[in-house]
């Protein structure tokens, strides 16, 4: 298969790049396994009956399958031909994401298991095959219809409904292979130290060997900035310090998203390079000052947009790398300076483009509406697997400068009472685990509804009130330390009380605008077209409502930001700023002007984030 015929041919892990690799996207053999009996029926040892285009999920049109019914299990098979130039090295087989419960075999030998549909995993092919040989790779992905599972926005009924979209099963991100030495570098942790004008690096290793050293070289457009070297035969994660002189000092920010190059090398006792990886880093800080969230010590008002990350033809998989870039560009054209990457762990290349374009994002998990019992039945009930998968996501994305906060849970529903529940335990576990893994960013325990961790760094609420006057009255309490809080039916509390943290409305708007239905005076059936509140009658009414709602939040000096729902329409949910195909349906200049109006950003308080 030629490089040009491979879908999504770009290197999928842009902050940890090795020169030698093979992209395994393209045509794989495929079969559905509705009874999850394929192992017993011999699917592991025989050819499969259909063909699918990886990395697109079988429910998508781009996959060539297009089956949108429930898929209990699916199987994949292809042959990997190992280059002779890889002789003497181990082969790692990487999966960007497979939904949901995956087993991988190489020549019939099991080499990996992984649970979780949003996070990457690796199979070490070990001694199964050598250079110049062929290896048959077989993958089974189970995606059960029932049982606790973090599904994000995937529908649990047959058809799309409300805010739930077409399911995704199996491989939906790039598959690739690369050779490594027996002792090799693992994913580094890059921590910017703005106060100290430096970067701190942790370089995990697969093991130690006498005489080994690690070396890091920091560069910019003018060449080498600094370098450091340390022994690699003592610790499993050697630490290095890379200073940045005042002459080469540039902060990463939305105005100047400067990225330093980073070369990481593992050397043996003979000074030969054993492993070499290219990376990059941004020098920036995130802090909390009173009610403000600061970037590089300065308050920056966060004009975020809710980005679901779905595509008409690829579902959770972007059809091209350019499509990822375009989504960021569209948001910025509309006046947003960042996004909540909503209910999905986005492809890492999206974060790479956010890094280089200066786009602020909150990293999030896909677990909308967690509760223990209640209306969701057994779907998305929180358990230990949530903590496991979330930590895999944080580990993957830790070093991206565009991520300015973490949101492990979204809209967890459970009335506050005097008995600790599994939801309380999982919420606290995810919060504490995130804080332990990353001390540099704020963490919100759960976005909207059930705030169950008293020390959450940030407090928020979701409010889809459509009348700007009523919205203003509901939001007025923040000035008196009594902000709007999502409440349970009959006024019962979901959350522990607000304790003075930085506060924002992390979901609002969702204005229902469907030009075609409005022109036909139809479309009130919400299975066909859906949004919050009553659908606006024309575009002028949309802009008046948008300007009124955003003006309430822009005019509040105690608010550090907001997140508008949402960037694009998604299937029946017709409340996007853009159409599902990313086409224009609104005057984007008016959307931008409403968010950047001078009256909203000229505030007397020198610490007001609207000044940034």
The encoded tokens of residue 169 equal: 């099963």
Residue 185: how many CB atoms within 10 A of its CB? Answer: 22
State whether 95 and 203 are in the same domain: no
Residue that finishes a domain, picked among 281, 304, 319: 281
Across the strands, what pairs with 90? Answer: 180
Q: Is residue 190 part of a domain?
A: no
Q: For residue range 135-149, what is the model confidence (pLDDT) as tens digits?
A: 999 999 999 988 788
Identify whether the C-beta of residue 204 lies closer than 8 Å to the C-beta of residue 185. Answer: yes
Q: What is the CATH number of the domain that holds 419?
A: 3.20.20.80
* The predicted structure's pLDDT at residue 146: 80
CA geometry: angle at 403 spanning 596 and 203, to 5°? 155
pLDDT in tens, 161-199: 888 999 999 999 999 999 999 999 999 999 999 999 999
The CATH number that applies at residue 160 is 2.60.120.260
Same domain, residue pair 438 and 493? yes
Instruction: Decide which of 594 and 373 is more confident.
Output: 594
Q: Is the pLDDT of residue 489 over 80?
A: no
The tally of CA atoms less than 13 A away on the side-chain side of residue 86 is: 26
pLDDT level of residue 516 (50, 70, 90 thresholds): confident
Question: Does one domain contain both 448 and 581?
Answer: yes
Residues 155 and 254 in one domain: no
Q: Is the pLDDT of residue 602 over 80?
A: no
Higher pLDDT, 128 or 64: 64
Contact 60, 173 (CB under 8 A): no
- For residue 542, being part of any structural domain is answered with yes
CA dist 486 to 411, 426, 548, Å? 10, 20, 21
Q: Report if residue 159 sits inside a domain.
A: yes
Q: Which of 246, 221, 319, 276 is nearest to 16 (CA)?
A: 276
Backbone CA torsion sign across 334, 339, 340, 343: positive
Tell me the two tokens of residue 40.
Answer: 């017993």
Residue 535 CA, chain-centre distance (Å), reads 30
* Last-in-domain residue among 266, 281, 296: 281
pLDDT at residue 2 greater than cutoff 80: no
Assess contact for 173 and 134: CB atoms under 8 A. Answer: no
Q: What is the per-residue pLDDT across 308-317, written as a single tens digit (0 to 9) for each?
A: 999 999 999 9
Count of C-beta atoms within a 10 Å radius of residue 126:
12
pLDDT given for residue 242 in this prediction: 98
185 falls within a domain: no
- Three state DSSP letters for 415-458: CCCCCCCHHHHHHHHHHHHHHHHCCCCCECCCEEECCCCCCCCC
Count of domains in the chain? 3
End-to-end CA distance of the chain: 50
DSSP-based three-state secondary structure for 10:
coil
354, 428: one domain: yes
Look up the domain containing 379 and give its range. 286-611
Q: Which of 86-90, 117-121, 487-491 has the highest mean pLDDT?
A: 117-121
**pLDDT confidence of 419, banded at 50, 70, 90?**
confident
**Statement to judge: residues 436 and 514 lie in one domain:** yes
Q: How confident is the model at residue 126 (pLDDT cuts 50, 70, 90)?
A: confident
Identify whether residues 209 and 272 lie together within a single domain: yes
pLDDT, tens only, 387-410: 999 999 999 999 999 999 999 999
**Apex CA 183: angle with CA 179 and CA 185, to 5°?**
75
Residue 117 lies in a domain: yes
The gap from C-alpha 438 to its chain's centroid, in whole angstroms, comes to: 16
Per-residue pLDDT band at 4 (split at 50, 70, 90): low
Tell me: do 221 and 101 sit in the same domain. no
- Tell me: do 172 and 207 sit in the same domain: no
Asked if the structure places residue 356 within a domain, the reply is: yes
Count how many residues are written for the chain: 612
27-52: pLDDT as tens digits: 999 999 999 999 999 999 999 999 99
> Average pLDDT, stretch 110-123?
97
- Maximum Cα–Cα distance for the chain, whole Å? 77
The CATH number for 224's domain is: 2.60.40.10
Check whether residue 237 and residue 292 sit in a common domain: no
Residue 31 falls within a domain, yes or no? yes
The percent of residues in the chain predicted with pLDDT above 70, rounded, is 94
Q: Residue 19 and residue 82: Cα distance in Å, rounded?
A: 15
Burial of 209 (0-12, 13-18, 19+ CB in 10 A): middle
- For residue 120, which phi and psi values (nearest 5 degrees)? -80, 160
Residues 44 and 136 in one domain: yes
Statement to judge: residues 466 and 568 lie in one domain: yes
| Residue 493 belongs to a domain | yes
> Among the three residues 147, 179, 211, which one is the final residue of a domain in this structure?
179
């Amino acid at each position: 298969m030629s490089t040009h015929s491979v879908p999504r041919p770009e290197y999928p892990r842009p902050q940890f790049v090795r020169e030698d690799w093979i992209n395994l996207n393209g045509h794989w053999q495929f079969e559905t396994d509705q009874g999850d009996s394929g192992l017993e029926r011999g699917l592991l040892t025989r050819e499969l009956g259909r063909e699918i285009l990886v990395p697109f999920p079988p429910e998508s049109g781009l996959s060539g399958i297009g089956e949108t019914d429930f898929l209990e299990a699916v199987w994949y098979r292809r042959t990997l031909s190992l280059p002779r130039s890889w002789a003497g090295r181990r082969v790692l087989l990487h999966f960007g994401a497979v939904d949901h419960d995956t087993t991988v075999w190489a020549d019939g030998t099991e080499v990996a298991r992984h649970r979780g549909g949003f996070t990457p995993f690796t199979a070490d092919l070990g001694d199964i095959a050598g250079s110049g040989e062929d290896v048959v790779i077989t993958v089974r992905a189970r995606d059960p219809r029932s049982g606790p599972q973090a599904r994000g926005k995937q529908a649990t009924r047959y058809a799309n409904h409300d805010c739930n979209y077409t399911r995704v099963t199996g491989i939906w991100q790039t598959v690739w292979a690369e050779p490594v030495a027996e002792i090799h570098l693992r994913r580094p942790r890059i921590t910017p130290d703005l106060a100290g004008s430096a970067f701190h690096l942790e370089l995990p290793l697969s093991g130690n060997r006498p005489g080994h050293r690690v070396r890091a070289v920091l560069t910019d457009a003018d060449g080498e900035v600094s370098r450091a070297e340390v022994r690699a035969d003592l610790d499993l994660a050697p630490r290095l310090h890379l200073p940045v002189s005042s002459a080469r000092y540039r902060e990463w920010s939305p105005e100047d998203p400067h990225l330093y190059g980073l070369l990481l090398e593992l050397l043996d006792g003979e000074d030969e390079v054993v492993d070499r990886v290219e990376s990059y880093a941004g020098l920036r800080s995130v802090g909390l000052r009173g009610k403000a969230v600061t970037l590089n010590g300065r308050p920056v008002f966060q004009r975020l947009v809710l980005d679901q990350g779905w595509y008409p033809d690829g579902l959770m998989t972007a059809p091209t790398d350019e499509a990822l870039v375009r989504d960021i560009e569209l948001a910025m054209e509309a006046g947003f300076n960042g996004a909540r990457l909503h209910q999905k762990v986005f492809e890492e290349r999206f974060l790479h483009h956010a890094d280089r374009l200066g786009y602020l994002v909150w990293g999030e998990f896909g677990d909308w509406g967690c509760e223990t019992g209640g209306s969701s039945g057994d779907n998305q009930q929180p358990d230990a697997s949530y903590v496991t998968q979330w930590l895999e996501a944080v580990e993957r994305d830790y070093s991206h400068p565009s991520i300015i906060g973490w949101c492990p849970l979204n809209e967890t529903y459970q009335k506050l009472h005097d008995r600790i529940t599994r939801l309380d335990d999982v919420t606290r576990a995810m919060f504490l685990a995130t804080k332990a893994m990353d001390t540099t960013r704020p963490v919100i325990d759960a976005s909207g509804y059930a705030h169950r961790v008293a020390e959450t760094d940030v407090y928020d609420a979701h409010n889809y009130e459509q009348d700007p006057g009523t919205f203003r009255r509901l939001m007025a309490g923040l000035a008196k330390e009594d902000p709007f809080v999502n409440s349970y039916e009959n006024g019962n509390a979901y959350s522990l009380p607000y304790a003075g943290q930085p506060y924002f409305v992390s979901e609002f708007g969702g204005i229902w605008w469907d030009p075609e239905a409005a022109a036909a005076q139809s479309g009130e059936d919400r299975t066909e077209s859906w949004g919050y509140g009553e659908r606006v009658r024309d575009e002028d009414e949309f802009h008046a409502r948008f300007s009124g709602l955003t003006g309430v939040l822009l005019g509040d000096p105690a608010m550090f930001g907001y997140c508008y729902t949402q960037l694009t329409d998604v299937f029946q949910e017709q409340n996007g700023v853009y159409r599902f195909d990313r086409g224009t349906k609104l005057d984007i200049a008016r959307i931008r002007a409403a968010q950047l109006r001078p009256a909203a950003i000229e505030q007397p308080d020198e610490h007001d984030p609207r000044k940034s």
